[in-house]
Amino acid sequence: MNFTYPKNERLKSKTTIGLLFSEGKSVSKYPLRLVYCEADENSKEKIKIGVSVSKKYFKKAVDRNYFKRVLRETYRLNKNLLWDNIQQPYSLMFFYQTKDRLTYEEINTKTVQLFEKFIQQVNKIQDSENKSEL
């Protein structure tokens, strides 16, 4: 597994981000939240992910940038969980939603739990779709 976060995995499309907020589904594991929707079938990348930290909780850009950096790093190190367990391409938005300043280890643990919860939810949806097709 290649533990990188290249540019082609970054979510930059305004239309896709708008679609995530209007039609996306959500999974939470305090203080993290993952909003997702299926990407186009002809998408080159299996996962496109964006990271966000609320200005409401962290007024200084320095603090927001720190937590965005931590979220990107935890994604980079744990993305094999997602890549190995999903079949369809997804667009994801990853949020840090608290004013509590958690340590890197705590955020990393929560990220793993969040990704596992996301995989369970996606597999449950795919299983129900497969049963309805039969």
In a domain, 109, yes or no: yes
Neighbours of 56 (CB within 10 A): 8
Q: How does pLDDT run along the chain (134 residues), one tens digit per residue? A: 678 888 989 999 999 999 999 999 999 999 999 999 998 877 788 899 999 999 999 999 999 999 999 999 999 999 999 999 988 899 999 999 999 999 999 999 999 999 999 999 998 887 777 777 66
Q: Could you tell me whether strands 90-96 and 47-53 are parallel, antiparallel, or unpaired per DSSP bridges?
A: parallel
CATH number for position 33: 3.30.230.10
How many independent structural domains does the chain possess? 1
In a domain, 121, yes or no: yes
**Which range of residues forms the domain containing residue 61?**
7-133
Element (H, E) at 50: strand 47-53
In a domain, 2, yes or no: no
